Structure 1
Amino acid sequence: MLEGTRLNKFLASCGLGSRRACDALVQRGGVTLNGEACTNPATRIQEGDILRVEGKRVSPKKTTTILLKKPRGYVCSKHDELERATIYELLPPKFSHLNHVGRLDRDSEGLLVLTNDGDLANRLTHPSNRVEKEYRVTLTSSIDYPILKKLVAGVQTPEGYARAKSTKRLSPRRVSIILETGLKRQIREMFQTLGYEVEKLFRIRIGRLTDPELRPGRWRHLEHHEVELLSLDPPAEA
């Protein structure tokens, strides 16, 4: 534990939910610090402090964060009612407690983070944080530049209004697209609304983190500095 950790962050590290959820937990009462009631989520927790929630002492859980390169044909679910293959079949049983952060649909591929760190998961998925995710998209037909502008301006999809942060035409049928939010099947639905069909979709970046060497279906642990990269935008191009 870092000295001077905020109470809400400390509770999140104990596996009690996101920082926002922990704020509400503290404000409802039931949290004591060194035997005294504590209702301020901004309270600083020092080394040696004793924190209890509903009378039970709590301490930070060991967090595990891994990066999986999801191949096509797997769903992001622990149990699939249609009995389709899930991403957890690609992982050792010891990772069955990890939660996937966001999702890629069954036919999509690329980088996927799994973690038991609720605070990290919230940081990566909450819309207000605008964490970038970059994709390579292959279409079944050639795309014109005006369509790329429409993707950035925004289109109405069955899941709601959706837009890309930026797009770039790589070839007649290949596009780079960057999102900051993630509606269900957003990229596929955006293109379909505009009359295009996605043939292949691959996520290549989350925040600043990329890993072109990781093979499809393989995973690896993320180091602390790599976890920090997940929340950062790439440096601006000169």
Structure 2
Amino acid sequence: MRLNKFISNSGICSRREADKFISMGLVKVNGKVITKMGYKIEPKDNVTFDEIKINAENLVYVLINKPKGYILSKKNQYKKNITQLINIENSSKLISLHSSNRKSTGVLFLSNDQAFVDNLKNSKNPIKKILEITLDKKLIKSDLEKIKKKIFSKSHFKRNKEIINFVSGELKNKVGVETFYKDINEIFNFFEFFGYKIITSDVSVWGPLNKKKLERGQWRFLSKDEISILKML
């Protein structure tokens, strides 16, 4: 295994950052400083970073149907920490693909594979997300049209259609959104610009991932096929 990948797999940093640390002479293999890019190590090798031994971790890829009120934090003082719901070793090292807050619910992808998450965040390919937004008041139709224009004009992927409309059978304060925006917080900002506060946002689809067969608060490991699809995005 390449040294930078080994360091990245440990959860310390991304592979790109590992290259920087290696070039700075902060990494040793069996007591010897290694600065060569592409250096390969064996399973028996002793690797240290800044004089601290590195242990490689098994990479995990998790999907959770996030409940309202929970946040992701490496600090344990939060009573409602998402990592408390995921019963695996070192769950505190999991990182999220996209930002989430106490108001958000639904599909959330987590992993301890820093390089994998970074690659997805920096992907130039359009990734579809479907979510339902609940507002603090009824949405005026004329405002909805203005918000649509804002979303369409600022879209990163002009060829992919952004869909925003009232949720059928619901009060006019619920809106369904199908978007290819990288950061769905940008969508929220458009609503807030016109005076609407976001009460909740529920993500049902993120790329190839959905919350089918997952009750609120439940989680599962991603399948090999799902991981392969994400790697191609």
Q: Same fold (TM over 0.5)?
A: yes
Q: Please name the residue that 2:215 is paired with.
A: 215
The structure showing larger relative contact order (alpha-carbon pairs under 8 Å, at least 6 residues apart) is 2
Q: Please name the residue that 1:181 is paired with.
A: 182
Deviation at 1:131, TM superposition (A): 6.9
- Alpha-carbon distance between aligned partners in 2 of 1:79 and 1:120, rounded to the nearest angstrom: 23
- Alpha-carbon distance between aligned partners in 1 of 2:86 and 2:114, rounded to the nearest angstrom: 20
- Alpha-carbon distance between aligned partners in 1 of 2:140 and 2:211, rounded to the nearest angstrom: 28
Give the secondary structure class of the aligned counterpart of 2:101: coil
Q: Please name the residue that 1:98 is paired with.
A: 93
Give the secondary structure class of the aligned counterpart of 1:97: helix
Question: What pairs up with 1:1-238 in 2 under 5 angstroms?
Answer: 5-31=1-27, 38-41=34-37, 43=38, 45=40, 50=45, 52-53=47-48, 58=54, 60-79=56-75, 85-92=80-87, 94-101=89-96, 102-125=98-121, 127=122, 132=127, 134-138=129-133, 139=135, 140-143=138-141, 144-154=144-154, 165=157, 166-171=161-166, 173-182=174-183, 185-233=185-233
- Alpha-carbon distance between aligned partners in 1 of 2:11 and 2:71, rounded to the nearest angstrom: 25
For the 8 Å contact 1:108–1:201, the answer to whether it is kept is: yes
The sequence identity of aligned pairs, in percent, is 24
Letter in 2 for 1:141: L
Give the secondary structure class of the aligned counterpart of 1:175: strand
The two structures have a TM-score, normalised by structure 1, of 0.71
For the 8 Å contact 2:107–2:204, the answer to whether it is kept is: yes
Deviation at 1:202, TM superposition (A): 1.5
For the 8 Å contact 2:48–2:54, the answer to whether it is kept is: yes
Query: 1:178/1:40 Cα in 2 relative to 1: closer, same or farther (>3 Å)?
Result: farther
Query: 1:225/1:193 Cα in 2 relative to 1: closer, same or farther (>3 Å)?
Result: same
Give the secondary structure class of the aligned counterpart of 1:215: coil
Query: 1:221/1:113 Cα in 2 relative to 1: closer, same or farther (>3 Å)?
Result: same
Deviation at 1:59, TM superposition (A): 5.7
After superposition, give the CA deviation of every residue in 1:92-118 in whole Å (9 maximum; x if it has no partner).
Answer: 374542323133221111111222222
Deviation at 1:189, TM superposition (A): 2.2
Query: 1:57/1:107 Cα in 2 relative to 1: closer, same or farther (>3 Å)?
Result: closer
Deviation at 1:218, TM superposition (A): 0.4
For the 8 Å contact 2:8–2:115, the answer to whether it is kept is: yes
In angstroms, what is the RMSD of aligned CA positions?
3.4
The two structures have a TM-score, normalised by structure 2, of 0.72
After superposition, give the CA deviation of every residue in 1:168-205 in whole Å (9 maximum; x if it has no partner).
Answer: 0344653323244337x443222111344445412223
Unaligned runs of 5+ in 1: 155-162, 234-238
- Alpha-carbon distance between aligned partners in 1 of 2:31 and 2:84, rounded to the nearest angstrom: 45
Unaligned runs of 5+ in 2: 168-173
Query: 1:122/1:30 Cα in 2 relative to 1: closer, same or farther (>3 Å)?
Result: same
Query: Size of the alignment, in residue pairs?
Result: 217
Deviation at 1:70, TM superposition (A): 0.4
Letter in 2 for 1:206: W
